[in-house]
Structure 1
């Protein structure tokens, strides 16, 4: 096999495996949102209490991002990917045994810590196994798989919850995670030679996470990702409950309706990755800012929708346009950071993104209890505009502080 074919095959296999794991990852993650009405009824929880169940995962997931990035740079991507997947599958299964709220919160936190090891390691694996020219498209496919998993989650989980109960559903999905973990261990190809994945003058030394934290571009991307990700976490967590409680839909119908925008968002992420690699690679904000502004406008129109069909249609359009901006935000540090610090840098950026996972469920749950779902979804429009403003003042450049620190 020619060297070019080997490079392409390595990249495609890596993307396919990581995308498959992310689909399982997000099915595991959105299960709790689908099961929340039943869990809330069984444990007697308010909307705020149900939001706390989701945020228990998100807080642990947030706290684990920086250590996960440091471990990825120190221990390597492959072992960390497999350990993370196997551990979160075990805690997924254990969630089905929770006897009450306290144990459920502990298990969701442990689940979050286990999953926190995965993102930085996955970006590290991608940086080691793709060329820079192919990386935006590859990252787009991987990020899109997140939303494919989030979209498939309601379609898979809602019927299982109805047929088998929420506890048995966690056990079934956990078993699937163990199977995928074994496939990842056996099939993930070795890294490409360093000269194929980054310029010859890029530093090869390994550094700690503090170096990435000192870079202004990394910090801005982290803050931007925090505002951007509010929409994704907010939709995943609260749309099923909104459709059941405010619109009177059945759990299965609500699962189908909430899945459509997430699947369309995955298409938007893929299209955005292609647009970035084709026209916007040198100035991401030319794509990011218009996409986020249009998405915010569509969210405002969604709030005024009188029917479920109009609500879902506008939500779907907003999620598609929002997806166009994903690679311009998350992929920016992935393109400019040396491979030696990709794990640490992306761990820092993902810490910002996962701050949304802590805040969105709690803030939206409180707003829904206090003012209604209209205020809760209005919060998402505001944070989307905030992400656009940060992008507007962020200029793309090489991460000079990181390069100087490892030189």
Structure 2
């Protein structure tokens, strides 16, 4: 009996590690575009507004896929959605390196977003498949730290690969990682729960319209939408900002642009523990405080004349913004039952990815219109305030372990 329990314990952590690596590659594949676009705009003779369209084309399809991706995950199971998501996004990562015009690049990135759109909900469903209720928030926080490590890895790998191989070959090489990832999920990711009959699945399903009517779920979505604008605005434009406004070369930019991802990824590893230990049933204050500090240091980042101080402030901004990130992906595990977590996460992540569409595009037009980054950064600060208001409006609700019902505390 003891050996069986030990094997099950080790297996769930191995699966969490596999989901972590999958998310790492997911973010690597999408975020290298923020570095490559510095060279793409030169080859295709693009202005900042056109660059914003390229960066946003991925996010509109990615956002559109969040609710369908969550619904498909609850209906088909996490395994099928994870594997097909990896296959599709890897194919279109390779195709990105074959783009021949602005239009082709926009279409390819749009289809790439559809491929990646199923992974977030399926990954969170995977946690629910392998972990008991009490362990899911902490496991989710660990999983989501991969997003920031992926952001850090992207400029560190993209900068030298572009120098050595060119931006086109870089996309082809990193797209090939999907083959290895697909095999790993096919061999190792086999949740026992997904062997249940379709009759049981249908019996336990919750209509999507009931989820859409959940006000608290929408408050979390708005909180993460506003925080997501800050997240994706910085992730998309910081490489260009460092090279154009701060005068860095590509190798220096690759190093400095990676630092926020590294520091925030490390912070995320502790964030779930901190949330679980000190902020149980006070998650909204944790998120609101994080966004307040994030907004303050964002302002300090773009107003200081010192590059080292600007990089320090950027790192602090990103670390505290991750508080909202932790809450957005851990609190739903306390509020939603296992049978609906895929759809719920799809709704929440739809908000974040809609932000990913709006933010780079809006910032691109602001930069083109004003000729500087200041207005774009003020736009992000306003979104910090919106996120704070939405977070404070969330009521305390959680799942009863015994009845699997949502209760208001």
Same-fold call, TM cutoff 0.5? yes
| Residue number in structure 1 paired with 2:187 | 186
| Residue number in structure 1 paired with 2:316 | 317
The structural deviation recorded for 1:263 is: 1.3
Matched, 1:253 2:241: no
How many residues align? The count is: 395
- What secondary structure is seen at the aligned counterpart in 1 of 2:100? coil
Distance 1:204 1:320, change over 3 A: farther
Taking the aligned partners of 2:190 and 2:114, their CA distance within structure 1 comes to 26
The structural deviation recorded for 1:209 is: 2.5
Q: Answer whether contact 1:7 1:130 (CA < 8 A) is retained.
A: no
| Residue number in structure 2 paired with 1:351 | 350
Matched, 1:284 2:307: no
Taking the aligned partners of 2:251 and 2:115, their CA distance within structure 1 comes to 29
Taking the aligned partners of 1:71 and 1:193, their CA distance within structure 2 comes to 13
Q: Answer whether contact 2:129 2:193 (CA < 8 A) is retained.
A: yes
Q: Answer whether contact 1:7 1:192 (CA < 8 A) is retained.
A: no
- What secondary structure is seen at the aligned counterpart in 2 of 1:229? helix
RMSD between superposed Cα atoms in Å? 1.9
Taking the aligned partners of 2:7 and 2:104, their CA distance within structure 1 comes to 48
- Cα deviation, 1:307-332, whole Å, max 9, x if unaligned, reads 22111110001111222332222211
Structure 2 unmatched ranges of 5 or more? 196-201
- What secondary structure is seen at the aligned counterpart in 1 of 2:304? coil
Q: Answer whether contact 1:224 1:387 (CA < 8 A) is retained.
A: yes
Taking the aligned partners of 2:269 and 2:53, their CA distance within structure 1 comes to 32
- Cα deviation, 1:207-241, whole Å, max 9, x if unaligned, reads 34322111111111111110011122111110000
Matched, 1:175 2:137: no
| Residue number in structure 2 paired with 1:382 | 382
The structural deviation recorded for 1:403 is: 4.6
| Residue number in structure 2 paired with 1:370 | 369
The structural deviation recorded for 1:4 is: 3.7
Taking the aligned partners of 2:396 and 2:55, their CA distance within structure 1 comes to 34
- Cα deviation, 1:59-88, whole Å, max 9, x if unaligned, reads 000111111011000000001101100110
Which segment drifts farther, 165-174 or 379-388?
Answer: 379-388
- What secondary structure is seen at the aligned counterpart in 1 of 2:398? coil
The structural deviation recorded for 1:279 is: 1.9
Q: Answer whether contact 1:78 1:121 (CA < 8 A) is retained.
A: yes
The structural deviation recorded for 1:152 is: 0.6
Q: Answer whether contact 1:86 1:177 (CA < 8 A) is retained.
A: yes
Q: Answer whether contact 1:295 1:322 (CA < 8 A) is retained.
A: yes
Structure 2 counterparts to residues 121-270 of structure 1, below 5 A: 121-191=122-192, 205-270=204-269
The structural deviation recorded for 1:289 is: 1.5
Q: Answer whether contact 1:47 1:368 (CA < 8 A) is retained.
A: yes
Q: Answer whether contact 2:66 2:117 (CA < 8 A) is retained.
A: yes
Taking the aligned partners of 2:345 and 2:385, their CA distance within structure 1 comes to 23
Q: Answer whether contact 2:334 2:399 (CA < 8 A) is retained.
A: no
- Cα deviation, 1:288-312, whole Å, max 9, x if unaligned, reads 1212111111111112110221111
TM-score by length of 2: 0.93
Distance 1:193 1:172, change over 3 A: closer
Q: Answer whether contact 2:23 2:147 (CA < 8 A) is retained.
A: yes
The structural deviation recorded for 1:161 is: 0.8
Matched, 1:392 2:396: no
Q: Answer whether contact 1:119 1:347 (CA < 8 A) is retained.
A: yes
Taking the aligned partners of 2:193 and 2:68, their CA distance within structure 1 comes to 25
Q: Where does structure 1 differ by over 4 angstroms across 4 or more consecutive aligned residues?
A: none
The structural deviation recorded for 1:286 is: 2.6
Taking the aligned partners of 1:13 and 1:208, their CA distance within structure 2 comes to 32
- What secondary structure is seen at the aligned counterpart in 2 of 1:355? helix
Taking the aligned partners of 2:253 and 2:158, their CA distance within structure 1 comes to 12
Q: Answer whether contact 2:221 2:351 (CA < 8 A) is retained.
A: yes
- Cα deviation, 1:180-206, whole Å, max 9, x if unaligned, reads 121122112424699xxxxxxxx9701
Q: Answer whether contact 1:68 1:117 (CA < 8 A) is retained.
A: yes
| Residue number in structure 2 paired with 1:199 | none
| Residue number in structure 1 paired with 2:106 | 105
Taking the aligned partners of 1:305 and 1:250, their CA distance within structure 2 comes to 20
TM-score by length of 1: 0.93
